[in-house]
Amino acid sequence: MYEWWHWIVLGLCLCIAEMAIPSFFIIWFGIGALGVGLILLIVPDLTLAKQLLLWAIFSSILVGIWFRYLKPRTITSVGTSAANVIGEIGVLVSDLSPNSRGQVRFQKPVLGSDVWECYADESIKAGERVRIVNVEGSFIKVEKTK
């Protein structure tokens, strides 16, 4: 029969393991184990099967809350698809012509970088504001904002 402190130690070990393996998934099992430890402080005569069932229920609820409500709020522009950045506006760092590439700087990172190699169908001077028209591999196509 496991005591309350066994579950607390298991929960703390799983939470510490989350720091070593940053998957942001193990922590929910650790918090679930901490919950079982706290329940055992109140109701000390639970069988092992009931303890494991409580742990599974707590962990499942926490994982469900994570995926349903918390995880969508943590998505940033890094790793998003190229379609989501079309229309972003930046400032041209170097002159750009149809025959040469330039660089554009964004106020916030776009697809993980704040400076991108770019090209355009027209000549644009450094310092002009440009808008992303397309993302093609490691280059972006821009146009002068109107």
Q: What is the pLDDT along the chain (146 residues), one digit of tens a residue?
A: 789 999 999 999 999 998 888 677 889 999 999 999 999 999 999 999 999 999 999 999 999 988 887 765 544 444 555 667 788 889 998 888 888 888 898 887 777 778 888 999 999 988 899 999 988 878 889 999 87
Contact residues for 45 (Cβ-Cβ < 8 A; gap 6+): none
Q: How many C-beta atoms lie closer than 10 Å to residue 103's C-beta?
A: 16
Give residue 50's pLDDT.
95
Q: What is the pTM of this model?
A: 0.51
Q: What angle do CA 94, 87, 118 make, to 5 degrees?
A: 30
Within the chain, which residue ranges are assigned CATH 2.40.50.140? 82-144
> Which of the four CATH numbers 3.40.30.10, 3.40.1080.10, 2.40.50.140, 3.30.310.50 does domain 82-144 have?
2.40.50.140
Q: N- to C-terminal Cα distance for the chain?
A: 73
Give residue 139's pLDDT.
85
